[in-house]
Chains A and B, each alone.
Chain A
Amino acid sequence: QQQVKQSPQSLIVQKGGISIINCAYENTAFDYFPWYQQFPGKGPALLIAIRPDVSEKKEGRFTISFNKSAKQFSLHIMDSQPGDSATYFCAASSKGNTPLVFGKGTRLSVIA
């Protein structure tokens, strides 16, 4: 049972464009939704995270949009750069540091 569904599997974006990755979840007990960025040969690193009390969170070029009623959240990367080329994972967890449940990942390639 996949509790967090992520799409697309892969994404190619022109430099300067907007990258959008979507995730949907099923468990209404989830209350923490992070996005992780992973470069080849490295461990995932936290990029940005949101809780359900807000609908949007922005950090630099990265924005999470959250729709509680639809049980969906998305990552937007503005002005995408070749250095953003990586695999991105959405995740979710419930209160009390319960283990994260990860989506299957999106491989982003930003081409010049």
Chain B
Amino acid sequence: NAGVTQTPKFRILKIGQSMTLQCAQDMNHNYMYWYRQDPGMGLKLIYYSVGAGITDKGEVPNGYNVSRSTTEDFPLRLELAAPSQTSVYFCASIPTGTDTQYFGPGTRLTVL
């Protein structure tokens, strides 16, 4: 996973609760991404960042927020959890000067 860390690994939330999924890399990568993976649906981009202080929406941003105050960290925030947000969330980053996207180990989130 080239040093991309995600916490927690698993989490169960009740409807309406909020939480932050953490993603960090210590390799000074500028590009970072958040995806969600649902069975049979591939990976869908939620948000991405091309550097500290810069974020942009992906394909499925509704219900999520992000921030990028440092190069190392790219947290994903769920404000009012809904059952539709039950999924596996992956963070990824790209080393400068390459195209290879390295993924973290994922966070499995269940909203009940």
Our pick among B40, B50, B100, B104 for the contact of A104 (Cβ within 8 Å) is B40
Contact B40 A97 (CB under 8 A): no
Q: List 28 A-B contacts (CB under 8 A).
A: A9-B40, A34-B100, A41-B106, A42-B105, A42-B106, A43-B4, A43-B103, A43-B104, A43-B106, A44-B43, A44-B90, A45-B1, A45-B103, A46-B102, A49-B99, A97-B31, A97-B50, A99-B45, A99-B58, A100-B43, A100-B45, A100-B101, A102-B43, A102-B44, A103-B42, A104-B40, A104-B41, A105-B42
Interface residues of A (CB under 8 A from B): 6, 9, 32, 34, 41-46, 49, 89, 93, 97, 99-105
For the residues of B in contact with A, the DSSP-based class is: strand
Say yes or no for B24: interface residue by CB 8 A criterion. no
Q: Which of A9, A43, A93, A101 has the most CB of B within 10 A?
A: A43
Nearest opposing residue in chain B for A2, CB measure: B42
Q: In the docked arrangement, what's the CA distance between A101 and B43, Å?
A: 8
Contact B105 A43 (CB under 8 A): yes
Contact A99 B42 (CB under 8 A): no
Contact B50 A44 (CB under 8 A): no
Q: In the docked arrangement, what's the CA distance between A51 and B79, Å?
A: 40
Interface residues of B (CB under 8 A from A): 1, 4, 31, 33, 35, 40-45, 48, 50, 58, 90, 92, 94, 99-106
Q: In the docked arrangement, what's the CA distance between A99 and B90, Å?
A: 14
Nearest opposing residue in chain B for A45, CB measure: B103
Q: In the docked arrangement, what's the CA distance between A23 and B17, Å?
A: 39
Q: In the docked arrangement, what's the CA distance between A45 and B106, Å?
A: 12
Q: In the docked arrangement, what's the CA distance between A34 and B42, Å?
A: 14
Given contacts A104-B41, A105-B42, contact A97 B90 (CB under 8 A): no
Residues in chain A near residue B42, CB distance under 8 A: 6, 89, 102-105
Q: Which 6 A-B pairs have the closest CB atoms?
A: A43-B103, A104-B42, A102-B42, A102-B43, A99-B45, A44-B103
Q: In the docked arrangement, what's the CA distance between A103 and B35, Å?
A: 13
Nearest opposing residue in chain B for A1, CB measure: B59
